[in-house]
Amino acid sequence: MVMSLMMPYWHFKGKQNSSGEAYSVKPADFIKRTEKFILANTGTESLLEEGLSPVVAAPPGEIYLVAKQFLWFPTLKLRAGETYRLHVSAADFQHGFSLQPMNMNFQVVPGYDHVLTIKPQAPGTYPIVCNEFCGIGHQNMIGKLIVE
């Protein structure tokens, strides 16, 4: 009984929920959106195929993150206490978004723009570990999320 009530209760009152908000998107389009987002916020063009993860400080609002064998693109720099709508999707295979040490985990599926509305709590540099097997080399797919 308690257990049956706990999930709806947390859905309305709790602060941590997986609402599954997502939109259908072609991987190529999602990559373009992310590259546009980087250009708008840094003034320099960075392309996913260069294989680097530039640091992007973005104002609260819509932010983008691509998962690709074996890279998180770009490296997002956020402000504590602000609310962001993090769009995360995959360019190639399925990946897992695992933010440490909070241990918050979400599935990243190509073709789906998964929107996570998050509110970073404390400054620091947080590893984003890929926790869905995405090929030999999967263990090296570790990105960063910077919070100021």
Partner 1 sequence: MSDNKNGKRICATTGLPICLDAEFFVKCNAVLAVVFLLIGGIGALLLALTRWQTVHLLPVDWFYRILTLHGLNMLIFWILFFEVAILYFVATSLLNVKLASVKTAWVSLIMMFVGAVMVDVTILVGQADVMMTSYLPLLAHPAFYLGIILVAVGTLIGVILYFATLHKAKKEKTYQGSVPLVVFGATAAAIIAVVTLLHGAIVMIPTFLHSMGWIAQPDPLWYRMTWWGLGHMSQQVNVCAMVSVWYLLGALTTGAKPLNETVCRGAFLLYIFFINLASAHHLLVDPAISAGWKIWNTSYAMYLAVLASMIHGFTVPASVEVAMRQQGYVKGLFGWLTAAPWKNPGFSAFFLSLVIFGFGGGITGVTLGTQQINIIAHNTLRIPGHFHVTVVGGTTLAFMGLAFYVVPLLFQREYIFKPLARLQPYLFGIGITVMAMGMSFAGSMGVSRRSWDIEAAGSIYGPAAHLFLAAVGIGGVLAFLGLLLFILLTVGTLLFGRSIVGKPMESWGTPKPLAVGEPEHTPIGLPTGAGSPALAMAEAHPTQGTMVLALVFLLSFAVYYFANWKALADAWPVR
Token reading at 42:
């840094």
Cβ atoms of residues 27 and 110 within 8 Å: yes
Among 42, 46, 98, 146, which residue sits at the site for partner 1 (rule: CB under 8 A)?
A: 98
Q: Assess 20 for contact with partner 1 (CB under 8 A).
A: yes
Which strands form 124-130's sheet, in the order they lie side by side? 55-57, 75-78, 142-147, 124-130, 95-99, 104-108
Q: How far is the CB of 146 from partner 1 (least distance, A)?
A: 14
Among 32, 36, 135, 148, which residue sits at the site for partner 1 (rule: CB under 8 A)?
A: 135
Q: Assess 125 for contact with partner 1 (CB under 8 A).
A: no
Q: Assess 146 for contact with partner 1 (CB under 8 A).
A: no
Q: Assess 77 for contact with partner 1 (CB under 8 A).
A: no
Q: Assess 43 for contact with partner 1 (CB under 8 A).
A: no
Cβ atoms of residues 96 and 109 within 8 Å: no
Q: Assess 105 for contact with partner 1 (CB under 8 A).
A: yes
Backbone phi, then psi, for 96, in 5-degree steps? -120, 130
